[in-house]
Structure 1
Amino acid sequence: MRKAVLAVLSVQAALTLGFILTLRSGLFPLGIPGEWEWLRLPRGVTPIALQWAIGVSAVLGYAMFSGWGMTFLGMTPSRLKQGTAVVGLVVASLVAQMLVAIAAPEGYGMAKWILALHNPGSNGYYTVAKNQMSDPWRFLEDYPNWIRKQDALHVGTHPPGLFLVQRGLLNAMEASPETARFVVDHLPQSVSMAFTVVEQYAHLPRADRATLALTGALTMLLCSSTVLPLYLLARSVLPANAAWAAATLWPLVPSAILFQPTADTAFPFLSTSALALAAYATRGTPRSGLIAAAGSGAVLALGMGFTLAFLPIGLIVAILIATAPGRSLRQKGEAIAVVGLGFLVPTLLGWGFTRSNPFLTWWWNQRNHARFYVEYPRSYLAWVVANPVELAVAIGLPGAVWGLVGIARVREAPRVSLATLSLLVVLTLSGRSLSEVARLWLPMMPALLVAAGAGLARLGGGGASLGISVGLIGVQTLFLQATIQVVYPT
């Protein structure tokens, strides 16, 4: 290894070890006291030895796979070779996330699929879908009026997409008892055991059990599958092995695992897909570019059906196209216009089909969000300092270090990473995003990892250095999930 790579790996190891010792000491707050802190697990709640062994083995195995894949791909592999590697990465990503989740203390791994999703204080979407959406069409038509009366927390700040998913799954399971039975009979033991806890205070029919379990499973599947659009996004500006490095960092990112099964962990799949399509909107033939631009707009429209977090993603899409080299201003303008059309057409069609005004819904969503800082004040300067620290921990300290290397030379840094980082700085300094960034900024995190891949490539790091970094991120995640809780209501 080169001396520079060894120096970076040494910094990563020191930061990871220092963080773990600090975290486990319990001497430092996990946020700003009196305003917002992530909770620690109750004393005595720890993973059993077998669970810990499974998690450590999963991290080691995935780290070795990551390093092997980087060597396997090389700089310019064939499309077949890339396709084979990325398909393998999607599978490995899902397996790694599941096994690391198993290593959490009892009740804090995949049991969250039931305990958190059923609890309205943690989620709320299932509760609304179950109790208030007997007529989904009427619910949708009245949604703008309904949402303006909701709270400033997660329910009141979201468009109807998450409620629709829950109602759709519930309807499907009620209409197909055989499918519901199959799902419930083939759940991991920890998920099945969680139902016994819920049954102590609420009876759950089989269809409801299957709905909650499928919600958790689909969320994890989308989260783990983010490696596919992330590889494509990184590949638009990096050689294959560097794009692989960026993508393989994602599955063990602390926030991607700890915040399961909240929908925030599924959103990166859509946000990264929109960015990847935008990256290819100014590449190839004009026709293929415009198709990619329309696809990016359509994905943004879908994302806006779930969360306003896709507003900043839309801005990054526009910046990515506007700053693309090798295209005229006219071509860039056309691509941005097509993104807009790709967004507006499905949005307007959805409005006409459901008679639910999305623009009025988004207006009330942002009004509800604006109330949050009135009802829950935040100390501006304290969070301006805390946000970047929390982001570095959330994305994995080793990945953050490689990202800093990747953007150190601004002119050579991936534009998508610079645009994303700049936007996060603006959100922080403007006071629009103070606290909980480990969860709220999940849709933007994959774009930052592109800089990590660029940093590794810039210093000439190989498969061994990637494997070490991935392993360190995994170790950080294992200790985090054995120390804190971030999904259950506070």
Structure 2
Amino acid sequence: MCVVAAAMVVGWQLKHDSVAIFLPFPPLVASWLPHVGPGTVFAPVVAAVCVLYGPTFATRARWPVLLAAAWGMSVAWTTSLALVDGFHTGIAGRLTTYPEYLHDVPLVGDISAMLRDFTGHILVDQPRHWTVHVGAHPPGAFLVFLGLDRIGLSGGAAAGMFCVLVGASACVAVAVTLRALSGETLARTVLPFGVLFPGAVWVGVSADGLFAAVLAWGLALFVVGATNRGVWAAVPALCGGMLLGYTLYLSYGLVLGGLLAVAAVVATRRWWPTLFGVLGAGLVVAAFTAAGFWWFTGFELTKTLYAGSVARTRPYSYFVWANIAALLFALGPATVAGLRRLAVTRRALGWGAGLLVAAALVAVLAADVSGLSKAEVERIWLPFAVWMVVACGSLPRAQHRGWLIAQVVLALLVNHLVLTVW
């Protein structure tokens, strides 16, 4: 945790020296504001139930029941944390501000035309340009919120709860993947840590929590297909590939999710399902391309947009290591301890699970070194953080409740002492 303290001290010194790092409370995008809300009552209760009964329940419950309960408790944990800020500030208003997706939803009449002309409105020097989050991402994320609006689920409350419901399922997808790759014992062991993930502070509510779940379910379906026999195994592999392909159109940075997909292929050692996975991803890419959006054009324009944004004054020399400090707030002390133990005892998780953790670490390091991630990574790297939590499976079982308490305390402190933007 020394890196967190150092990031705080150096960050405040940079602010004192008038360096425009645009962080009210470095290294997080948050403001110091001790506060309480409805979630102050609910979050500790949810956490107490998970800590007291979660590890035992995870070892004894029938698998389908366990997955349903884990999703329900993850939703409760994420929602209660968001409600510490109140319903409007914590949920309903998160995605309605100027930089967010819902701001531009009323501007779109013809979705086909939007896709054809999407890249023409990325740069802010255009007469009509997208708001920050819409323009800085491929149109896949925007399509999700447009779709919600078209089916009658308009407004911030519906969009916020949709992100919570989907994002909270990431821990279930990780468990499904682990069961297929490394066995049910490890999956059951890791699941309580996935439920009480401190990054839930940013899952509720940010689109990146949704991105994490889409990537996780894509991997889960692909691995299920790759580890099963018979012709029907091609179906989940194909569907998983389609979800993985769609992640490319949720965020440009999720191209690094390909490292997790490669790790899954290597871990399963069965190559024919990979063809169906590639086919599924290819179908999605072909569909977006045929609709008029070329991924590489959008990426190049977004790099130009990023170069002229607040990132321009954020010093690389600080953020290249302060980013890691910000990520630690989402990972929590248990994950750090698990990663440390895994580095010493490399066989603690098994081949497949260890590869996924390693792939997530490499993805984060690549994103960090690229310089295209300066701050805000406590939410941006959620799709990789949920896989690092797997390292908690290497912790001694007798210590699990203690580490779960540490995760809970961190999340509660963050949500009550600072006001996060997401």
Q: Which runs of 5+ in 2 are unaligned?
A: none
Matched, 1:438 2:381: no
Higher relative contact order (CA 8 A, sep 6+): 1
Q: Which amino acid aligns with 2:144?
A: V
Equivalences, count: 405
Q: Please report how far the alpha carbon of residue 421 of structure 1 lies from its aligned counterpart in structure 2 after TM superposition.
A: 0.7
Residue 400, structure 1, aligned to residue 336, structure 2: yes
1:324 correspondence with 2:302: no
Deviation at 1:30, TM superposition (A): 7.4
RMSD over aligned Cα atoms: 3.2
* 1:315-341 Cα shifts (integer Å, max 9, x gaps): 3202331x226x3xxx53x44443221
1:288-367 residue pairs with structure 2 within 5 A? 290-321=234-265, 323-324=266-267, 327=269, 331-332=270-271, 334-352=272-290, 355-359=291-295, 362-364=298-300, 366-367=302-303
1:482 aligns with 2:402: no
Relative distance call for 1:28 and 1:249 in structure 2 (3 A) is farther
CA deviation after TM superposition for structure 1 residue 57, in Å: 1.9
State which of 53, 61, 69 in structure 1 corresponds to 2:49. Answer: 61
**Structure 1: unaligned runs, 5 residues or longer:** 1-14, 74-80, 174-179, 181-209
Q: Which residue of structure 2 lines up, in the alignment, with residue 47 of structure 1?
A: 36
**Equivalent residue for 1:9?**
none
- Which letter maps to 1:58? V
C-alpha distance in 2 between matches for 1:99 and 1:19: 29
Is 1:144–1:364's contact at 8 Å kept on the other side of the alignment?
no
Which amino acid is 2:116 matched to?
E
Partner of 1:276: 220
Task: Please name the residue that 1:267 is paired with.
Answer: 211
* Counterpart for residue 176 of structure 2: 232
2:194 aligned residue (250, 258, 264): 250
User: Residues 381 and 409 (structure 1 numbering): CA distance in 2 closer, same or farther, change over 3 Å?
Assistant: farther
Of residues 93, 96, 113, the one that matches 2:77 is: 96
TM-score, with normalisation over the residues of structure 2?
0.84
Q: Structure 1 residues 405, 70: closer, same or farther in 2, change over 3 A?
A: farther
Letter in 2 for 1:156: G
Counterpart of 1:12 in structure 2 is none
Deviations 1:171-228 (A, max 9, x none): 333xxxxxx7xxxxxxxxxxxxxxxxxxxxxxxxxxxxx5221101111001111122
Q: In the alignment, which residue of structure 2 is the partner of 1:113?
A: 91
User: Given that residues 318 and 336 in structure 1 are in contact (C-alpha distance below 8 angstroms), is that contact kept between their aligned partners in structure 2?
Assistant: no
Contact 2:264 2:356 in 1 (8 A): yes
Give the whole-Å Cα distance in 2 for the aligned partners of 1:401 and 1:152: 39
Cα distance between partner residues in 2 of 1:388 and 1:363:
24
Cα distance in 2 for residues equivalent to 1:257 and 1:287: 41
Distance 1:256 1:91, change over 3 A: same
Task: Quote how far apart the aligned CAs of 1:231 are.
Answer: 0.6
Query: What SS is found at the alignment partner of 2:135?
Result: coil
- Alpha-carbon distance in structure 1 between the residues aligned to 2:232 and 2:338: 33
Q: 1:476 Cα deviation (Å)? A: 0.9
Residue 411 of structure 1, CA deviation: 5.3
SS of residue in 2 equivalent to 1:142: helix
- Structure 1 counterpart of 2:324, from 368, 388, 413: 388
Alpha-carbon distance in 1 for matches of 2:112, 2:41: 49
* Cα 1:411–1:423 shift into 2, 3 Å: farther
Change (3 A) 1:46 1:138: same
What residue identity is the alignment partner of 2:103?
Answer: T
Q: 1:218 aligns with which of 138, 144, 162?
A: 162
Alignment pair present for 1:144 and 2:78? no
CA contact (8 A) 1:421 1:448 kept: yes
Task: Output one character per residue of 1:416-472: Cα deviation in whole Å (capped at 9) or x when no partner.
Answer: 11111122223323434332221110111111112222x13xx3x15xx32332222
How far apart, CA to CA, are the structure 2 residues paired with 1:341 and 1:39?
A: 39
Q: Offset at 1:98?
A: 2.0
Query: Is 2:103–2:131's contact at 8 Å kept on the other side of the alignment?
Result: no
Contact 1:129 1:164 in 2 (8 A): no
Q: CA 1:51–1:429 in structure 2 vs 1: closer, same or farther (change >3 Å)?
A: closer
Confirm or deny: 8 A CA contact 1:166 1:215 kept in the other structure: yes
Separation (CA, whole Å) in 1 of partners of 2:64 and 2:141? 32
Distance 1:365 1:62 in 2: 45
Per the alignment, do residues 51 and 449 of structure 1 end up closer, same or farther by CA in structure 2, a change over 3 Å counting?
Answer: closer
In structure 1, the residue matched to 2:148 is 169
CA 305–423 in structure 1, closer or farther in 2 if over 3 Å, else same: closer
Letter in 2 for 1:47: V
Structure 1 contact 395–445 (Cα < 8 Å) conserved: yes
Give the distance between the partners of 2:329 and 2:32, measured in 1 at CA.
22
In 1, the alpha carbon distance for the partners of 2:408 and 2:255 equals 31
Match of 2:346 in 1: 410
Rounded Cα–Cα distance in structure 2 between residues aligned with 1:265 and 1:32: 30
Tell me by how many angstroms 1:99 deviates: 2.4
Structure 2 residue aligned with 1:190? none
Contact kept in structure 2, 1:36 and 1:435, CA below 8 Å:
no
**Residue by residue, what CA displacement relative to the aligned partner does 1:337-388 show, whole Å, maximum 9, x if unpaired?**
4322111123323444xx3234355444543465257852433332232222
Q: How far apart are 1:314 and its partner, in Å?
A: 1.9
1:39 Cα offset (Å): 5.2
Identity %, equivalent residues:
19
1:447 equivalent in structure 2: 387
So what's the TM-score if we normalise by structure 1? 0.73
**Counterpart-to-counterpart distance in 1, 2:163 and 2:36:** 23
- Report the alpha carbon displacement of residue 250 of structure 1 after superposing the two structures with TM: 2.5
| In 2, Cα distance between equivalents of 1:172 and 1:292 | 27
Question: Does the 8 Å CA contact 2:319/2:375 hold for their aligned counterparts?
Answer: yes
Is the Cα contact below 8 Å between 1:66 and 1:245 reproduced in 2? no
Preserved CA contact (<8 Å) 1:32 1:382:
no
